[in-house]
């Protein structure tokens, strides 16, 4: 039974924040200012559906405006509440600072179970919600830029972008009002998988740090590592897929809403996802052992545990039974502060959410920049590269002629040389670079001060320092 006296998600974020503040020498009152959520807007609106008016409740929390626009996803879930979006908005502030995307933190939520509605109904509801937020500048390219989160994706972002554009017909930057859009609505290649891809890059970087691996008692590479994933949604699916296909890791367990499946020889996330699509859950998936109580699978023996669904799933009640020596928080807030203490005592290393799932906002930043520049991402670089490559090719040809060398540059060579990087390559390399640099900063902080308790605290220290510097530079 979950310990109901345990602090909630928002209190947990605050506890973790305070643990880091203890290491910092901030001017009086600044930590309080950074910690507090600036504002939360609650909206109740009606939509006529199936012959009657249904009332929905939604939120948009703005945690910190030390940089604008503020940024953060919109979540669709039946149990969304104010404290939850405020905690998520706070995490966005710290996340953006950590990976140096120039945004403050925000988050939104709508109390809805999207599975209960037809697509055209969801469109109606989403457009109305977007209208309510946009008319208060809570969706705006320069002030507040949402993105997908649990229960939403490209489809919802396209509706939001279109709704905003209809309300602001003369705003040439309208497309930058939301990120995570489909490509044909101003999206960017690589955004859909960005958060899962970021989780993969984070793990790859962790495995380039032998001292950190040693703390978890891990050796070798990602190849052959046994992984359990909770939540085969956008983030969990992509992380599992890339780790299996590109790093040779073994996905031995998958936990979903209806239970968990286990196969020590490895599961194929594509296959499992298809099965879920057809059967509504993992139950009955061929060749795997099924357990109806999915949470128990979190405790199963493995090398890496990837919670990628809900918050608070590892708490004071089950933390002591967790076997994984390494947990990477693909979801926001999957480990409570109380569980964090217990796991630390056990020597478990946690790669924290504010770093681990920052791939989404990183690529969202690229999309926002692309929308504002009104130019295909990478096109400028490509032009420059092309011009540079062309002049080099010319130079080689002239040299050959001058010296009578008789070289003939092959067509293949020229083509290869003249090929610029395409959008997807640029996005991937930008994301990889971001994840590497941020990890190096937090790992260094962890080791620099022997007394820093863990990677999470180190990540908060790096992040709070940046937010505090920003407040110091600009004033309040
Ligand atoms: N989408 C993003 O870009 C993004 C970015 C940063 C962080 N996140 C975080 O990642 C987490 C997952 O987000 P997502 O976008 O992948 O959501 P999603 O809605 O695409 O997927 C969530 C998955 O979790 C499963 N799930 C729900 N309840 C469950 C339960 N009780 N047990 C096991 N599985 C359950 C769902 O069936 C679904 O497959 C959230 O914490 C979110 O805040 C998402």
Interval between CA 113 and ligand 1 midpoint (Å): 13
Q: Is the dihedral of CA 91, 97, 99, 100 positive or negative?
A: positive
Q: Does the domain at residues 9-187+455-474 carry the CATH identifier 3.40.1160.10?
A: no
Active centre residues (catalytic): 107
* Better pLDDT: 439 or 377: 439
pLDDT greater than 60 at residue 410: no
Best residue for ligand 1 mutational test, from 235, 298, 318 (most atoms within 8 Å of Cβ): 235
pLDDT greater than 80 at residue 129: yes
* Better pLDDT: 1 or 176: 176
Ligand 1 atom 9, closest CA: 331
> Is the fold of 9-187+455-474 the same as that of 194-359?
yes
Interval between CA 258 and ligand 1 midpoint (Å): 14
Q: Are 183 and 189 in contact (CB under 8 A)?
A: yes
Number of the ligand 1 atom closest to the C-alpha atom of 88: 43
474 pLDDT tier (thresholds 50, 70, 90): confident
pLDDT in tens, 347-375: 999 999 999 999 999 999 999 999 998 88
Q: How much is the pLDDT for 381?
A: 58
What pTM does this model have?
0.92
Ligand 1 atom 25, closest CA: 231
Peptide bond into 69 cis (omega under 30): yes
Structure ipTM over 0.95, yes or no:
yes
Helix (H) or strand (E) holding 294: none
pLDDT in tens, 67-78: 999 999 999 999
181 is in an annotated binding site: no
443 is in an annotated binding site: no
Ligand 1 atom 29, closest CA: 257
93 is in an annotated binding site: no
pLDDT greater than 80 at residue 407: no
Give the percent of the chain with pLDDT over 90.
85
* CA distances in angstroms from 133 to 61, 156, 241, 250, 410, listed in the order given: 11, 14, 35, 43, 57
370 is in an annotated binding site: no
Q: Does the domain at residues 194-359 carry the CATH identifier 3.40.50.720?
A: yes
What is the rounded average pLDDT of the residues 102-124?
98
Mean pLDDT is lowest, of 128-137, 191-200, 395-404, for 395-404
- In terms of DSSP bridges, do strands 144-148 and 226-230 run parallel, antiparallel, or are they unpaired? unpaired
pLDDT greater than 90 at residue 84: yes
Best residue for ligand 1 mutational test, from 2, 85, 103, 149 (most atoms within 8 Å of Cβ): 149
pLDDT greater than 80 at residue 396: no
416 pLDDT tier (thresholds 50, 70, 90): very low
Question: Which residue shows structure tokens 């940089």?
Answer: 67
Domain boundaries, the chain: 9-187+455-474, 194-359
Number of the ligand 1 atom closest to the C-alpha atom of 333: 41
Mean pLDDT is lowest, of 115-119, 245-249, 270-274, 396-400, for 396-400
């Amino acid at each position: 039974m979950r310990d109901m006296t345990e602090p909630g998600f928002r209190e947990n974020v605050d506890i973790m924040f305070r643990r880091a503040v203890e290491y910092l020498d901030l001017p009086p009152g600044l930590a309080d200012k950074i910690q507090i959520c600036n504002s939360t807007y609650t909206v109740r609106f009606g939509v006529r559906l199936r012959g009657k008016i249904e009332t929905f409740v939604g939120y948009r929390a703005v945690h910190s405006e030390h940089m604008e626009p503020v940024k953060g996803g919109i979540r669709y879930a039946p149990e969304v509440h104010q404290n939850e979006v405020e905690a998520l908005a706070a995490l966005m502030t710290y996340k953006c600072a950590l990976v140096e995307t120039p945004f403050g933190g925000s988050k939104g939520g709508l109390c809805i179970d999207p599975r209960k509605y037809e697509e055209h109904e969801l469109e109606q509801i989403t457009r109305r919600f977007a209208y309510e937020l946009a008319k208060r500048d809570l969706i705006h390219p320069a002030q507040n830029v949402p993105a997908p989160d649990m229960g939403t994706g490209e489809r919802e972002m396209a509706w939001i972008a279109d709704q905003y554009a209809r309300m602001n017909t003369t705003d040439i930057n309208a497309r930058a009002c939301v990120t995570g859009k489909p490509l044909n609505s101003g999206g960017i290649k690589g955004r859909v998988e960005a958060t899962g891809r970021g989780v993969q890059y984070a793990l790859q970087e962790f495995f380039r740090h032998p001292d950190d691996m040693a703390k978890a008692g891990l050796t070798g590479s990602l190849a052959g590592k046994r992984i359990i994933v909770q939540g085969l949604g956008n983030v969990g699916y992509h992380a599992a897929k890339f780790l299996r296909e590109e790093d040779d890791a073994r996905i031995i367990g998958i936990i979903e809403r209806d239970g968990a499946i286990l196969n020590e020889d490895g599961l194929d996330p594509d296959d499992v996802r298809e099965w879920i699509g057809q059967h509504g859950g993992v139950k009955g998936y061929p060749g795997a052992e099924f357990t109806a109580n999915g949470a128990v699978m979190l405790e199963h023996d493995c090398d890496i545990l990837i919670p990628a669904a809900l918050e608070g799933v590892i708490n004071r009640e089950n933390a002591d039974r967790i076997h994984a020596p390494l947990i990477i928080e693909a979801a926001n807030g999957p480990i409570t502060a109380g569980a964090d203490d217990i796991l630390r005592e056990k020597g478990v290393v946690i790669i924290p959410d504010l770093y681990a799932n920052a791939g989404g906002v990183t690529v969202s930043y690229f999309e926002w920049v692309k929308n504002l520049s009104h130019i295909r991402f990478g096109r400028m670089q490509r032009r420059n590269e092309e011009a540079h490559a062309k002049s080099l090719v010319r130079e080689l040809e002239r040299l050959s002629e001058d010296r009578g060398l008789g070289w003939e540059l092959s067509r293949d060579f020229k083509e290869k040389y003249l090929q610029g990087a395409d959008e997807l390559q640029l996005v991937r390399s930008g994301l990889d670079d971001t994840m590497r640099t941020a990890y190096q900063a937090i790992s260094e902080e962890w080791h620099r001060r022997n007394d820093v308790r863990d990677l999470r605290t180190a990540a908060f220290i790096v992040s709070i320092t940046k937010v505090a510097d920003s407040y110091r530079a600009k004033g309040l």
